[in-house]
Structure formats: C-alpha cells, structure tokens
C-alpha cells in the first residue's frame, strides 16, 4: 500500500506551484490531475503515469465518486500517488471527500498547500484583499451552489466569488439586494495566474458590463474593500489627486 499526496498546483502557470509541491510531484508514480493545472508540470514527473480526472464547473466532468475510487485503487497499487489540484486543495477542491475515502481504507496521505485564485487575482490587480481600517474580513465563496442556484450575501468587508463568469448580471443584482451599495467597487479577473489574464474594474451597479470581456473564461469576482484601487499616500511634495471614476476600465 502506498500513500497519497494532495498538491496545490496554483491557479495558473507551472511556476506558481510551491517548492515542496514540485518536490513531492517529482516522487510520483501516478498523478491524478485536474483540468486547470498547467500541462508544463508534467516535466516535473516524466516517469509518472498521468490520469486526467478534470472537472469544468457543473458541465461534463469526471464524477467525484469515480475520482475517490480511482484514488484508492491507485494508492493500493503504487508507492506514491499525487492528486494534483488547481489552486489550493482546501479551497473548493473537494478535498474532504477524497480524504474521507483514504481514511476509510487506511491509506496515508499528506496535503501540500497551494496558491488559490483569489490571491492570484489580488496580485494581478495590485488590490490587497485586506485593508487596514476598512477590510478586516474576507469571504471566499462559489457563485453557484451544488444545486445550481446562485447565492450571494454581504457577510464580509471583501467578498470573493469563484466560478462567477457566467452569472455576472444576476450576481450583481443579488448583491445589491443583499445590501451592497451600487457604488461598491468590484473587480473581475479571468484566467488569474496565466499570461493572458484579463482584469476589469467596475462599480457594482455596472458589474454586468464585464460579461462580454470575460465570456468563456474562468473568472474570479471581488467585491468590496479588496476591490478598491490603492490610493497614493499623501506627501509634502506631491499633491494628491482623486482617482477619476472608471466604471469599466481595463487594468491590463
């Protein structure tokens, strides 16, 4: 019986994986990989057998039950099995179900954390998710529930919605209903962590405008304190100019 290593591959290019993650990947006999992991990571484990168990939202995908069973099957047959997940395994990565399957069969495992898409989006736009005095809490949520229903609330200073690209108009409407002001800053980043990442900034009332730019691309939506641009610090030599409003300006 072998062991399983859950590795967060990061949200985009191969070099966003951690050093530990790449080291563990190099030891793999078998790799079960997600759809959004960079194919370049295969170079880190050329000797391994790579098995595609990818998912794409709520569309056609490898069923979770089948993934759980395959993970156990491979761990019983090989010394080191890597479960390579996009982003961080603990953030919307169905890690709980897979760990439970291993525990039920007495299979040892390790979890190596990774960079999640919310952090890559914040880095790409240079908009910190937390802000001193105005952004003390951050909520990470999926725009759609497992039942296919859109759920949006006002539960933190900064709200980050994953897999939200196809629901931007409805998401904006729900957030306004939940008490967010129409002028609240909003940021949309699609393909965060990749060279072709795109970012747009908006007022919440205008968030629907982003749909055309980000259509068909995995998108992260940030609303609230963490979506606001950074204001230049005032100095004695440089006058402070207010930022001109730009409801749908493109950052890239």
The answer to whether the beta carbons of residues 186 and 201 sit under 8 Å apart is yes
3-state secondary structure at position 95 = helix
Residues in contact with 185: Cβ distance below 8 Å, sequence separation at least 6, in sequence order: 201, 202, 203, 204, 223, 224, 227, 228, 229
73: left (phi over 0), alpha (psi -120 to 50) or beta: alpha
Residues in contact with 16: Cβ distance below 8 Å, sequence separation at least 6, in sequence order: 9, 10, 114, 115, 120, 193
- Annotated active-site residue 85? The verdict is no
**What count of Cα atoms within 13 Å lies in the side-chain half-sphere of residue 87?**
21
- Annotated active-site residue 34? The verdict is yes
Distances (CA, A) of 71 to 64, 83, 97, 98, 155: 10, 8, 11, 8, 36
What whole-number distance in Å separates Cα of residue 108 and Cα of residue 190? 36
Q: Position of tokens 């967060």?
A: 8
The active-site residue out of 15, 29, 34, 88 is 34
The active-site residue out of 38, 52, 55, 251 is 55
Distances (CA, A) of 95 to 7, 68, 90, 149, 175: 11, 10, 6, 22, 28
Catalytic residues: 34, 55
């Amino acid at each position: 019986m072998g062991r399983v290593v859950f590795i967060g591959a990061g949200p985009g290019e191969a070099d966003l994986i951690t050093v530990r993650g790449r080291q563990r990947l190099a030891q793999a006999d078998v790799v079960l990989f997600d759809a959004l992991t960079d194919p370049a990571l295969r170079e880190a484990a050329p000797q391994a057998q790579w098995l595609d168990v990818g998912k794409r939202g709520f569309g056609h995908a490898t069923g979770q039950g089948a993934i759980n069973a395959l993970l156990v099957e491979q761990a019983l047959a090989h010394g080191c099995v890597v479960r390579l997940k996009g982003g961080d395994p603990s953030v919307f990565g169905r890690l709980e179900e897979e760990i439970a399957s291993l525990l039920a069969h007495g299979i040892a495992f390790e979890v190596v954390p990774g960079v999640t898409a919310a952090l890559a989006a914040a880095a790409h736009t240079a908009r910190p998710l937390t802000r001193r005095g105005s952004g003390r809490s951050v909520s990470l949520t999926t725009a759609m529930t497992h039942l296919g229903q859109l759920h949006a609330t006002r539960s933190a200073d900064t709200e980050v919605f994953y897999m939200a690209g196809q629901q931007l108009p409805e998401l904006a409407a729900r957030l306004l209903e939940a008490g967010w002001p129409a002028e609240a800053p909003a940021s949309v980043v699609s393909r965060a962590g990749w060279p072709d990442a795109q970012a747009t900034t908006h007022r919440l009332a205008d968030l629907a405008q982003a749909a055309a730019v980000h259509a068909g691309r995995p998108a992260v939506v940030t609303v609230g304190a963490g979506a606001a641009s950074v204001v230049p610090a005032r100095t004695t030599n440089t006058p402070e100019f207010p930022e001109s409003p730009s409801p749908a300006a493109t950052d890239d």
